[in-house]
Structure 1
Amino acid sequence: MSRLGQKISEIRKRKGLSQEELAAKASINLRTLQRVEKGETEPRGYTLKSICQALQVDVEEVYDYNKEADRSVLLLLHLSVLSYFMVPLGNIIFPLIIWITQKRKVLHVQEQGIKLLNFQITWSLITYPLIVVYGIMKILHYPGANYAITAYLVLYFLNVVYVVRAVLLIYKESDKNLYPLALNIIKP
């Protein structure tokens, strides 16, 4: 089986589609899809584009060109989130830099970077207003100010937990969803 055919087969199975369903969605012959997945032929042009559209993936995700597998880059991508301990919005800035520079060079950086950045943007949109609310409540000497900072600290801790969980899953080479649902700001 060719690497391209194997990748198409993996994505199809991950999406819960049978070969018949994918062939119908892609408007291609079932036998063509079977030959592609077995590695007997390489899809070109229209066929590859149709398969990718039916799978709702980018051609680059299926066609890894010459990307290398480098787990250290993936680990650095996820661990860079912890830079928000020292730099405001570092949880977005540093992963964004790594994602932009490595997404075409290293396997899985493209898709994991998108999920990570969407989660961190969502997390920031939720937590940073809590700091503002806390500041306003503190200035106004409002007695409930501690609730806002407590909520922020709990969310802060959860973010660290998600980062540690993602790193452990990468070490185990697990393909689980590393982050929960988030706003879909950066699209594949």
Structure 2
Amino acid sequence: MESNYHTLKRTDNQLLVITHLSQLLTYATVFGGIIAPLILWATQKEQVEGMDAHGKAILNFQISLIVYSLISIPLIFALGLGILILILVAILAFVMPIVNAIKASNGELPSYPLSINFVS
């Protein structure tokens, strides 16, 4: 028997804020900044309105930061360019989760600059 029952997603801006801020776990643990948002996104994307879009944006941003960091390592030997990239990555990794947590609390969609679209 087919069911026409559709699960209604709940609005939970606080959880979206926590998901964005969980990226800051990178500063306490090496991969906590990608694992915690991944778990929150994977478990809540069907229940929370907007979690799918926010989670994908976060994962794309975190993966992009890893790629930029890996690219910058050999560039350290090219006139120190890699050091500048690492500094930019560190600033973005700290500031953008906070900016997007504020956006999420206001019901806005996230915006992460220089983010490559890995998860769509």
Fold agreement, TM-score > 0.5? yes
Map of 1:156 onto structure 2? 90
1:91 maps to 2:26: no
Question: TM-score, length-normalised on structure 2?
Answer: 0.79
The 5 Å alignment of 1:122-133 reads 122-131=64-73
Choose the corresponding residue for 1:80, options 9, 22, 28.
22
Question: TM-score, length-normalised on structure 1?
Answer: 0.53
Helix, strand or coil: the match of 2:88? helix
Contact 2:16 2:105 in 1 (8 A): no
The 5 Å alignment of 1:55-66 reads 65-66=7-8
| Offset, 1:133 | 5.7
**Greater share of helix:** 1
* 2: CA distance, partners of 1:181 / 1:128: 15
The 5 Å alignment of 1:2-21 reads none
Give the counterpart letter for 1:158 in structure 2.
L
| Offset, 1:181 | 5.4
Give the counterpart letter for 2:106 in structure 1.
K
Larger radius of gyration: 1
Give the counterpart letter for 1:149 in structure 2.
I
Contact 2:17 2:102 in 1 (8 A): no
Helix, strand or coil: the match of 1:128? helix
1:179 maps to 2:112: yes
How many residue pairs get aligned? The number is 115
Distance 1:106 1:152, change over 3 A: same
| Offset, 1:132 | 6.4
| Offset, 1:95 | 0.8
- Bigger RCO of structures 1 and 2 (CA < 8 A, at least 6 apart): 2
Gaps of 5+ in 2: 1-5
CA RMSD of aligned residues (A): 2.3
* 1: CA distance, partners of 2:24 / 2:74: 21
Map of 2:100 onto structure 1? 166
Distance 1:171 1:179, change over 3 A: same
Gaps of 5+ in 1: 1-63
Map of 1:22 onto structure 2? none
Helix, strand or coil: the match of 1:159? helix
Provide, for residues 15-55 of structure 1, a one-character-per-residue CA deviation record: whole Å limited to 9, x for no partner. Answer: xxxxxxxxxxxxxxxxxxxxxxxxxxxxxxxxxxxxxxxxx
* 1: CA distance, partners of 2:74 / 2:51: 33
